[in-house]
Structure 1
Amino acid sequence: MSDDKKALRILFDTYWSPKGWKRDETVDRAEFEYARRAGYMFDPVVVAHDDIVAGLVSVRARVNLQRVADAFLASLSTRRLELRSALGSFAYAAQFPIHGLDEQTARRVPSGRLNCLICGRYGHASPEQQDLNILSFERWRWGGIRHADPLYSWFDLTQFEKADLIEPTEEDCSILARILDTATSLASVARPKELEKRLGKVIKSNRAERCVLIQILGYCGVLKPAGRNGFLQAFTADELRDRPPDRANDWTYPVIWWRGADGVDRDVLSRLFPKVAAMV
């Protein structure tokens, strides 16, 4: 996939302004066609819950974990956020169970839609139109947000297959080592928010990027809360992803439960990033 700054600008300008999210997401047709041909924007797709599940299970079999881990590493110095995203999606997909959407695996909400108790998606059993452009925007802008949504993970890994990958450098390894050293140096009761603040001096980034980075390290189990697993080790159904009573806490599962005392899971670190494991 080519590096097309014009197409990326069109994608970003569709959703974002200097004041933040746009209310009007209308895009000029000619500009949309340009960004679509470049692979940054997409026509809507019509899929059902079970199509998404099948697509995610299919793409995970084609993606190599080590390539995903290397891409995450290589994103740290280059700020290639679209490459960083794939580790979160692969971790979520690794143990993702094949399942269907029916009355036995879902609960009906007041709108009439079904909430899948396994993967958490809301929808009807019949196919529905899905907008991939907002997912593409989030992937390029922040390294993804919805890694625990099977539609995003499917889309993300499919795009990763087309990406121009780069090899991680010693600088990348050093950055991740400093990130993990920071995590292990926090007070035992420290929460992800404190880690995010401290990482502002460790890696070139904004707050949103740092939050996503920490959440990805939680998804894969490098930052593993006591008594809980990252998705790479075991899939936790949506109905079992408990949350603290603090409603102001908007971190995702499982890193929402991570505390400074949990530190870094060295077994997972050694599996994903052996060079970094030797440095921390």
Structure 2
Amino acid sequence: MERKETMKLSLNEYLKNAGFTKAMLQTLDTLELMDEAYLTHLFYMHKDALFQHFEQYDELLKYQLYLKFYTHLFYQRYLKAKTNQEAALCLDGCKDLYEWAILCHHYFNVYGILPMMWMFLDRLIEGKITRLGRLEFEPKAIDCEIRLPEIYLPKNSVLLNVHVPAGPRLTSADITDAYQQALHYFNGIVPIFHCSSWLLSPQLDECLDESTRIMQFKKDYLIYSLEDNADQFIERVWPDRENEASDYVNYEENTTLQKNAKQLLLSGRILQKANGICIKYYHPESDNV
């Protein structure tokens, strides 16, 4: 049995371990949340009322207060963790808040959480999404049946949905390590990973060499459907650009991906979002489900 966690980090130590810089911590120290206990109650019991509460603030202050409140929630979850593993999961999850705070600062010059992301990050805080290493996993039922030569999955099959958070570039070792952690942590769920992302776009085959990190991630997935929507791709590859077709000619070409993808866009094509499954760890003959 795992030894219970006995020593807890202070809030500042906890946030430093999650990557928060001195400037971020100073920002959080200057912010004041009114009645944290009441806001916490709203978060878990009346989420819509919580979001409405924050609408009273000016935009930039609202982004900052969401960061302050969400770090508070994650820290409270960390304090209640009964094992070392639970405490580590709370710390790793908070690293996502750091990444979003950096991105918010890039766009608005304040450390906060970008608009509408609080409706995704709440699932991370509640433990519905679990960060393990460099990837995040969410047990989720698929909303359609999947028919492929390799496998058939009926609608509502529960798979491990994969999210790729911002952060250092993925390596093959990072990917393998995260999957192995997920297989151990979610050992009661069918070991099939599901991903819906621009990272699985079939057009990437024309833009990148198969040895690149993105292609190493993509190669594990069998694509079962495509979406003709390039918005997610453009947001990630050109985060400082607006999705305007007439403006493609001005898109930057600082990377191989940007250069090749820009040529596809200028030719009138798009880079589709794809839905796929990874079944490399699924071995039904060995009773692993």
Q: Normalising to structure 2: TM-score of the pair?
A: 0.26
Greater strand content: 2
* Structure with higher RCO (Cα < 8 A, 6+ apart): 1
